[in-house]
Amino acid sequence: MNRAKRFPYLFAAPAILLFLAFTVYPIIASFVLSFQERVGGEYVFAGLKNYTRLWNDDIFWTAMQNTFIIFVVQVPVMIILAMVLANVLNNQLLKLKGFFRVSFFLPAVTSLVAYSILFSIMLQEEGIINTALSYIGITAIPWLSDPFWAKASIIIAMTWRWTGYNMVIFLAALQNIPEDLYEAASLDGANKFKQFFYITVPQLKPVILFAGILSTIGTLQLFDEPFNLTGGGPADSTMTLGLYIYQSGFEYFDFGYASAIAYAVVVMVGILSIIQFKIAGDE
Amino acid sequence: MAKNLEVIEQSTNKLTLAERQQKKPKKKKNKLKAVWMYTLLSIFLVVSIFPFYWMFIGATNDSSKMFTNPPTLLPGDQFMTNLTNLNESIGIFRVLFNSLFVSGLYVVIALAVCASAAYVLAKYNFKGKKFIFTAFLLSMMIPYQATLIPLFQMMSDFNLLNTYFAVIAPQLCFPFAIFLLRQNFLAFPTELMESARLDGASETRIFISIVIPSMRPALAAASIFLFMTQWNNFMWPLVVLNTNDMYTFPVALSSLMGLSYIDYGQVMMGVTLATVPIIAFFLTLQKQFISGMLGSALK
Amino acid sequence: MKKVTGLVSISMMLVLSLFLAACGNGGSEDEGSGDSNKVTAWAWNINVPVLEKAAEKFKEENPDFELEVVEMGTDDVYSKLTTGLQAGGKGLPDIVLVEDDRVQGYMSAFPDAFVNVSDKGFDEMKDSFPSYKTELVSKDGAMYGFPFDGGPTGVFYRTDIFEEAGVNAEDIKTWDDYIEAGKTIKEKTDKAMIGLDLNGDDGLYRMMLNQQGTFYFDDEKNVALTSEESKKAMKVQQTLNEEGLVKETVGWDAWISAMTSGDVATAPSGAWLYGSITQQGKDTSGNWGLIELPAFEEGGNRASNLGGSNYMIPSASNNADLAYDFMEFFSTNKDVQLSAMEGGLFPSLNTIYDNEAFTKEVEFFSNQPIWSLLADEMDSIPAVNYTGDYAVAKDEAVKAQSEIANGKGIEEALKASEDRLKNRIQ
């Protein structure tokens, strides 16, 4: 009995110890740092100064707004796209399934180096994308130099990179849905569309939630795309929280302030995740 | 879904004549649907694959062909040159070994750590369980830039800079993997565990011999995520590794990015090489992974 | 099932061995940095052969000397340096390469983090370097770094495009001439005069500021974004843009690509551009020329600087004395410095400018002796104040530039940026 009681702790111990050492400790350390500022090369206690500065920092609010816009547009677009693709790939009439599956997953494993060089070249004003668009009569789009289109570029790049990844998650879950559910539904006269909304979506709910939270975290920490494609410009229109944290620490050497921003992000992700749980209605 | 279609069609045989007549238009509809499906998939295919093709083009051409206008879209003859140059710059085999070793080891250990934690979190009741799980999940929200410096300081205090251990240690307890695995363990029928207990199996034995074997797809899925994370990990290895012979692929490739001089032929060759193992890894495990989370088979 | 048990035990053994390996490795690493004959350096690609060549020569006098160069990307050097300094001087090398525009940021954020090389006797060599370089690495009269390569500027231009348009580059004396030439080229060849990343980088603006002897900050470290010089520089950019002479090139790759594929006629830049265009534009050999930067008024200063780098010794180094000896040798040895030119680096050591390597004709540039043109500039490059807040100031300057490009008035945009900047660095 005693052994059985100890068992769960024993089994969770490695994870918990590693977690304490490599996650909890650095988190506390950087939390402490967020109440400090650098004076003449030394960190001294500064009270809430970093946080009040944050409250009055236009760039922070711009970053917040940008992140929010990107989040609201990108996450749903990607999840819907991933679900559509997963549904199509789940069709047994389809040939070459494995081939498609791997191909769609590829972007998620591309090296960031190749990805950023390629996208920055393709998105130039005379780049391959605008050239392609000109064939269908669309005039050149200033992908990286216009505030609106720069955001769009970031969204496109992110969607390209992560749709296949989410699709794979959905695909696995789709195959888990009992087939008799569909059979019953079609006997009841529900068309494919209805089946999708009344069976597939509810059955996938936990997975959608899962993908949604992952994407929320990913978006709020968004760094790679703006760092490599736009550098946050033009005029902060693609500045994100992740990028601002990086710049504050690594370019302006103010790690106290960087930590304060990071904690603001944590609070926000927390709130958003709770909202998502609430909307999804279960845990 | 198509399987359902077949089932439905079979069952129509038993149905009335009126319903039977629906069969023909349905066939046509299927064809139409197939065309639509393949068109959609092909568009996505091109979009997904093009960058890889372009990578390959870059790897077989001279650096100066990289940004020509119109773009170079055909393979060149510089494959061997780029390969040799790259090998001279970063030492391909050493880097490949480092990356494979670090990622392989990481997957094995992290999987063991995460799976055992996920298992007890899913299947046992103990004090503090909810708190631990919530703490794991919350920690995913911390941006890594914020914890980089304290972690680095810790590694250097313990004299662990420039070791493989320092590269993998911080992420061994990977909350995302724990979450993923826990969700799967939840579906494992508790009755099977009970009956094993009645047969006198120890808790460890139950986990290793009964639960784990049926969780292969979930473990495969987690491995894919873990492997990807470590294989592409850049910032952390960059910061803790201090000699060229310890570099992993992303760090080594980044070392090619000088200020005014970048040999893109080499970079693209390196990027191509770095992508191959991860695709191979995915290909090996995807059957396991996709073939259904097996949870359904047990229901 | 047995397989799984086996797997688990294997993995446990691996963990154990890993811990052991970690300890072993960590220990030897520590010894490495304490080794009195070994010096570690961090630098990026084209600098590595120069360091290695220097080490080879240095060994002739000091046979036990050993140099380990850790090659890394330029941005990676800063990521690692910042992390190490932030952690209180952990895991740092004995020598690190830092670009001109980053030097003062590091010196001001980490005041005691670098070795004072004046104390070690480098002041004696001061005259061998242009004053703008030595001032850059100085604080309170003492030097904290070794000047290495410089970025004397010039307008790199495509001779084939200029010929087609019938424009003589040598006739361009002022920025007004430059704009006029641009209009002619646009008219005759439909090519843009210049590639600019108006929303991302302000290289041209910085060159024009430096040329006029000022920068984001004036000599007293006051914010100077609204200075007359700054307005003049923005005016040139605005005119270029309004006349349609600018091709938007976002990011480095696009900029290089525009030049080598002949989409733009000129590129005002630092000497190091030589390395990039000779590599990326192999087919364009013989189609290039170089003139000095145009002046703001007839007879005005045409010398400026963009880029360049310096070596520094972190105070945390266990081997600072040896590192100093090696770097002094490196910085003042003529052969070493000349070898830097092979990678397209322009040495700032002025005692070698009469060497054949500088006076020779360069085939890639239609046999123009471009190196002597650049060397002649070195003494006229004004020293300017980067300050520790350079990075923030640049961020704001780029924003002003971007707003101007999108139609905002020069005065208004610069004023807004200046106010924001003052607020950010208060």
Q: Using an 8 Å CB-CB cutoff, list residues of chain A that contact chain C.
A: 38, 40-41, 58, 117, 120-121, 123-126, 142, 144-145, 150, 229-231, 233-236, 247, 249-253, 255
Q: Is residue A12 part of a domain?
A: no
Enter the tokens of residue C319: 């081997």
* Enclosing domain of residue B29: 2-59
Cα dihedral A222, A225, A228, A229 sign: negative
CA C35 vs. chain centroid, Å, equals 32
pLDDT score of A62 more than 60: yes
Predicted local confidence at residue B26, as pLDDT: 59
Between helices B23-59 and A147-174, what is the axis angle to 10°? 120
- Interface test mutation site (partner C, options A145, A146, A151, max chain C beta carbons within 10 A): A145
Tens of pLDDT, residue by residue over C309-334, are: 999 999 999 999 999 999 999 999 99
3-state secondary structure of C421: helix
Residues of chain C positioned with their CB less than 8 A from the CB of A40: 111
DSSP-derived letter for residue A138 is P
Rounded to whole angstroms, the Cα distance separating B239 from B195 reads: 50
What percentage of chain A has pLDDT greater than the value 70? Answer: 96
* Inter-CA distances, B31 with B7, B266, C138, C337, Å: 18, 46, 76, 72
The arithmetic mean of pLDDT across residues C60-78, rounded, is: 92
* Enclosing domain of residue A210: 53-280
What percentage of chain B has pLDDT greater than the value 90? Answer: 23
* Inter-CA distances, C361 with B93, C357, C358, C364, C365, Å: 42, 9, 8, 9, 8
- Closest-approach residue (CA) in chain A for C389: A252
Q: Say yes or no for a CB contact (<8 Å) between C253 and A236.
A: no
Are residues B27 and B119 both part of a single domain? Answer: no
Nearest alpha-carbon partner for B253 in C201, A216, C253, A117:
A117
Q: Is residue B30 part of a domain?
A: yes
Tokens 């920092």 locate to A57
- Residue A32's Cβ-count burial label (10 Å; 0-12, 13-18, 19+) is middle
Q: Say yes or no for a CB contact (<8 Å) between C260 and B64.
A: yes
pLDDT score of B264 more than 60: yes
3-state secondary structure of C154: strand
The answer to whether the beta carbons of residues C405 and C212 sit under 8 Å apart is no
Q: Please name the member of A123, A126, A253 whose beta carbon is closest to the beta carbon of C109.
A: A253
Enter the tokens of residue B154: 């810790």
Q: Is residue A37 part of a domain?
A: no
Are residues B92 and B53 both part of a single domain? Answer: no
Q: Is residue B74 part of a domain?
A: no
Rounded to whole angstroms, the Cα distance separating B111 from B293 reads: 17
- Interface test mutation site (partner B, options A2, A5, A10, A11, max chain B beta carbons within 10 A): A11
Chains that touch A (3 or more CB pairs under 8 A): B, C
Predicted local confidence at residue B5, as pLDDT: 38
- For the complex shown, is ipTM > 0.85? no
Predicted local confidence at residue C34, as pLDDT: 52
Q: Is residue B255 part of a domain?
A: yes
Q: Say yes or no for a CB contact (<8 Å) between C82 and A125.
A: no
| Backbone dihedral angles phi then psi of residue A95, each to the nearest 5 degrees | -95, 165
Q: Say yes or no for a CB contact (<8 Å) between A91 and B117.
A: no
Q: Is residue A9 part of a domain?
A: no
DSSP string, B178-223: HHHHHHHHHTS-HHHHHHHHHTT--HHHIIIIIIHHHTHHHHHHHH
pLDDT score of B22 more than 70: no
Are residues B169 and B248 both part of a single domain? Answer: yes
CATH number, position A274: 1.10.3720.10
Paired strand residues for C314: C114
Minimal C-alpha gap between B144 and chain A (Å): 9
Predicted local confidence at residue B63, as pLDDT: 80
pLDDT score of C4 more than 60: no
Give me chain A's average pLDDT, please.
84
The arithmetic mean of pLDDT across residues A8-15, rounded, is: 91
Nearest alpha-carbon partner for C47 in C92, C77, C84, C91:
C77
Rounded to whole angstroms, the Cα distance separating C273 from C370 reads: 12
On the CB side of C346, how many CA atoms lie within 13 Å of its CA? 30
Residue C122: band (very low, low, confident or very high) from pLDDT cuts 50, 70, 90: very high
Q: Say yes or no for a CB contact (<8 Å) between A29 and B37.
A: no
Q: Say yes or no for a CB contact (<8 Å) between B160 and C22.
A: yes
Are residues B216 and B138 both part of a single domain? Answer: yes
Are residues B48 and B90 both part of a single domain? Answer: no
- Residue C116's Cβ-count burial label (10 Å; 0-12, 13-18, 19+) is middle
Q: Say yes or no for a CB contact (<8 Å) between C199 and A121.
A: no
Q: Say yes or no for a CB contact (<8 Å) between A41 and C254.
A: no
What is the count of structural domains for chain B? 2
Amino acid at C208: M
Tokens 């480098």 locate to C122
Rounded to whole angstroms, the Cα distance separating C27 from B78 reads: 43
| Backbone dihedral angles phi then psi of residue B77, each to the nearest 5 degrees | -115, 20
Residues of chain B positioned with their CB less than 8 A from the CB of C309: 259
CATH number, position B216: 1.10.3720.10
Nearest alpha-carbon partner for B95 in B256, B215, B206, B216:
B256
Are residues B8 and B156 both part of a single domain? Answer: no
- Residue B183's Cβ-count burial label (10 Å; 0-12, 13-18, 19+) is middle
What is the count of structural domains for chain A? 1
Q: Please name the member of B44, B138, B207 whose beta carbon is closest to the beta carbon of A270.
A: B138
Q: Is residue A46 part of a domain?
A: no
The answer to whether the beta carbons of residues A178 and A184 sit under 8 Å apart is no
DSSP-derived letter for residue C217 is B
Rounded to whole angstroms, the Cα distance separating A137 from C55 reads: 60
- Interface test mutation site (partner C, options A148, A246, A253, max chain C beta carbons within 10 A): A253
Paired strand residues for C152: C305
Predicted local confidence at residue A267, as pLDDT: 81
Cβ neighbours around B80 below 10 Å, total: 10
Residues of chain A positioned with their CB less than 8 A from the CB of C78: 250
- State whether residue C247 sits within 8 Å of chain B by CB: no
Structural domains for chain C: 2-150+309-359 (3.40.190.10), 152-306+366-425 (3.40.190.10)
The arithmetic mean of pLDDT across residues C226-235, rounded, is: 96
Q: Please name the member of C8, C14, C40 whose beta carbon is closest to the beta carbon of B105.
A: C14
Nearest alpha-carbon partner for A176 in A197, A148, A210, A207:
A207
